[in-house]
Amino acid sequence: MVIHLFGTEQENNSSPQQEVDAKVQLALEAQKIYETYSQQQVDRIVKAIADATYAKSLELAQLAVQETGMGVVAHKKMKNEVGSKAVYEDIKALKTVGIISENRMKKVVEMAAPYGVVAAIIPTTNPTSTAIFKVLIALKTRNAIVVSPHPYAVGCTKAALEVCEEAAVKAGAPPGLIQCLTQKSMEATQSLMTHPNTHVILATGGGGLVKAAYSSGKPAYGVGPGNVPVYVEKSAKLDKALKQIVDSKSFDYGTICATEQALIVDGAIYDKTLDKLQKLGAYLLNDVEKAKMEKVISPEVGKVNPKIVGRSPQTIAQMAGITIPTNTKIIIGIETKVGKDVPFSLEKLSPILALYKVQSSDEAKSLCLQLLNLGGRGHTLSIHTENDKLAKEFALDLPVSRIVVNTMATMGAVGGTTNLRPSFTLGCGTFGGNITSDNISAEHLMLTKRLSYGVREVSVPSAPVEQIEHFVKSTDTSAIDEALVAKIVEEVIKKLQ
């Protein structure tokens, strides 16, 4: 039985502020109990949530696609599995209760403390996997969590949280640790982020939302957009590289922010690349078709049409009045320019890929920088090469927080095909206006207290007695009053400083 999670019909008919107040209060009360739990109790609860959500991965994927109309069920199932099992495996050994480390040589003891109530904002593109991930890292660190789903994905996010809450309570968690806002209201999200009893914000969404989180006056982890360039350098194993790129770009119809957005290819292998891409299921637009597609991608300069996000290539082609084969996996437009007025150079979050030709790695690097500056600074860069020195050069020179090499950017950046931290919230650092460049995980929701013993003595100089005597001797002691004494003390303190 799920207790205290979404409230009564009467509560759901309340105003956004009333719903936020009620659910934050329930979460706060539960968290005060939960922070007294032992590491064994916490770990048992977190494992129960991971197991339950992993078992429901397919069902939750179906609900997400049904409600949002975005993505592919089989791919969302994989994301749910990463968000549950892979995240759990990564954090399960982390100490989050009591003494977490002790350095006897330095006489410093570190102890874990929770933040309190986490406000979690969930995107429509990954409405169940991100919710599961955030619940796991919040509860692992003895926090409560109040979730604000995307207005277009309230039902599936709510369903995922119900699975989490039921498993948690059965494993011994206090009811109410996991709360979900059910009203489709930006007012409720804003109220949650600024609520007096919200202690930290974990925001995954658009740039406006992240800015709102950072402007809330609360500690906040937000992420920036990911206009990810992928460079196929002439030494790359071309067949493998292109298959990975097509698979990655078509994965869940491009809804992960680490998806490749622009393919940059060395001139020496460009013609082979065009031929191989078509054999892998890519459709290359001609000039007339490209012009039609540009209007669909970005009807307004600098803004991507939300109707293409997470949609199939066939659906998007139909919007543009273009006929493509039924087995098409991605749509490619050959491009030479970068800018807000160049639709193919934007972050499209769909199976649409820009293709650029370069004559050198220096030109490729310059082009990557232009694309990142347009809207992706700090996020992710992908490179396919057998030249390790070149990969490191790109990593050192470009303003990105994660560089994935010879793998799918989509899965590599979130830790699916690399040893990066499994995460659905990818920090962009100050490159992208974020507080961290990390793949956000449980450590980011835990405070560390430090107990430190004195290990060395210091000699504190004595007060300058001669200066005090000077003040006393130069003063008529018969006329000393309290104000004068205060002045003398003040002068002495100034001298000491």
pLDDT along the chain (497 residues), means of 10: 41 80 97 98 98 98 97 97 97 97 96 98 94 98 97 96 98 98 88 95 82 88 90 98 98 96 98 97 98 97 95 97 97 98 97 98 98 95 98 97 97 95 94 92 97 92 67 58 71 67
**Residue 76 within a domain:** yes
Which pLDDT tens digit goes with each residue over 390-445? 999 999 999 999 999 999 999 999 999 999 999 999 999 999 888 999 999 999 99
**Residue 127 within a domain:** yes
Give the CA radius of gyration of the chain: 28
**Residue 432 within a domain:** no
**Residue 368 within a domain:** yes
Q: Let me know whether 43 and 142 are in one domain.
A: yes
**Residue 256 within a domain:** yes
| pLDDT at 10 (0 to 100) | 41
Q: Let me know whether 245 and 186 are in one domain.
A: no
This prediction's pTM = 0.89
Q: Let me know whether 16 and 125 are in one domain.
A: yes
Q: Let me know whether 209 and 238 are in one domain.
A: no
Q: Let me know whether 175 and 238 are in one domain.
A: no
Structure tokens at 481: 């009053």
Q: Which domain holds residue 292?
A: 228-420
Q: Let me know whether 191 and 268 are in one domain.
A: no
Residues with catalytic roles: 257
Q: How many domains does the chain have?
A: 3
Which pLDDT tens digit goes with each residue over 21-41? 999 999 999 999 999 999 999
Q: Dump the DSSP string for 60-127.
A: HHHHHHHHH--S-HHHHHHHHHIIIIIHHHHHTT---SSEEEEETTTTEEEEEEE-SEEEEE--SSST
Which pLDDT tens digit goes with each residue over 313-345? 999 999 999 999 999 999 999 999 999 999 999
Q: Let me know whether 253 and 281 are in one domain.
A: yes
| pLDDT at 472 (0 to 100) | 57
Q: Let me know whether 15 and 138 are in one domain.
A: yes
Q: Let me know whether 208 and 336 are in one domain.
A: no
Residue 325 belongs to a domain with what CATH number?
Answer: 3.40.309.10
| pLDDT at 476 (0 to 100) | 58
Q: Let me know whether 321 and 354 are in one domain.
A: yes
**Residue 425 within a domain:** no
Number of continuous H segments (helices) and E segments (strands) in the chain: 19, 15
**Residue 434 within a domain:** no
- Give kind and range of the element (H or E) at residue 266: strand 260-266
Q: Let me know whether 277 and 171 are in one domain.
A: no
| pLDDT at 7 (0 to 100) | 46
Provide the 3-class DSSP secondary structure of residue 200: strand
**Residue 322 within a domain:** yes
Q: Let me know whether 232 and 214 are in one domain.
A: no
